[in-house]
Chains A and B, each alone.
Chain A
């Protein structure tokens, strides 16, 4: 079975600084998708970024970028120029077929 591991229960970052959230996963498949979702206090799940495993180029969305290491099965999220609105719980997720498997989540706190 596929598993997703987020080893950082909580992280803190100073406003305007950069933070990296870690994620590793386990799969025997070669074609799959990886996601980072943000869940703010409203609890609405918001897609931050998506990576297709067959693409070697790391996905980027404005201040958010990933470091996808397929061989190492690692998928970290880098948030640059952190803003107060980035404070949330972040979930890493894996998908193959139509089912999402989530990691345990990382609470990100942003200090002003």
Chain B
């Protein structure tokens, strides 16, 4: 079945630095990828939608200059948290959608801790 690889699974970084999270669709072409943020015991909050070769669409309240999303190919999307602060500490999950299909495949998530 469809597999999405998300890397790294966890990362600790210092306040003020930037962190990049990768999301790859391994056996299908993901025309659309989604980035979510999840706090403990809460639901997934959609941050942005990215389509291959075009600019990402951010949800209301999400700072696009802070959360940079690049979807340069049909198999790779990246989320860069720039100038990270402790309040950016969270669990980030990507998912990929294959055109023409109704399914969504999720990555295993990245636990980001900013110290």
Secondary structure dominating the interface of A = strand
B43 in complex: contacting residue of A44, A99, A105, CB < 8 Å: A105
Do A44 and B106 form a contact, CB below 8 Å, given A102-B43, A105-B43?
A: yes
In the assembled complex, the Cα of A102 lies from the Cα of B93 at a distance in Å of 14
With A104-B43, A107-B41 as known contacts, state yes or no: A47 contacts B32, CB within 8 Å: no
Task: Report whether over half of chain B's contact residues are helix, strand or loop; otherwise say mixed.
Answer: strand
Q: Does A86 contact B (CB under 8 A)?
A: no
Number of residue pairs A-B, CB distance < 8 angstroms: 44
In the complex, are the beta carbons of B91 and A95 less than 8 A apart? no
Contacting B46 at CB < 8 Å: which of A50, A99, A104? A99
Q: Convert A14-41 into 0s and 1s, putting 1 for each residue whose CB lies closer than 8 angstroms to a CB of B.
A: 0000000000000000000101000000
| Nearest neighbor of B59 in chain A, beta-carbon distance | A99
The residues of B that contact A42 with a CB separation of less than 8 Å are 108
Inter-chain contacts of B104 with A (CB < 8 A): 35, 47, 95, 100
Report if A98-B32 is in contact (Cβ < 8 Å); known contacts: A91-B44, A105-B43: yes
Q: Is B97 an interface residue (CB 8 A)?
A: yes
Q: Which residue of A lies closest to B109 (CB)?
A: A43
Residues 78-115 (chain B) with a chain A CB within 8 angstroms: 91, 93, 95, 97, 102-104, 106, 108-109
B102 touches A103 (CB 8 A): no
Determine the residue in chain A with the shortest Cβ distance to B108.
A44
Is the CB–CB distance between B108 and A43 below 8 Å? yes
Closest chain-B Cβ to A2's Cβ sits at a distance in Å of 12
Which chain A positions have C-beta within 8 A of B34? 99-100
A-B contact pairs, 23 of them (CB 8 A): A43-B91, A43-B109, A44-B106, A44-B108, A45-B44, A45-B93, A45-B95, A45-B106, A47-B103, A50-B102, A50-B103, A89-B41, A91-B43, A98-B97, A99-B46, A99-B49, A100-B34, A100-B46, A100-B104, A103-B43, A104-B42, A105-B41, A105-B42
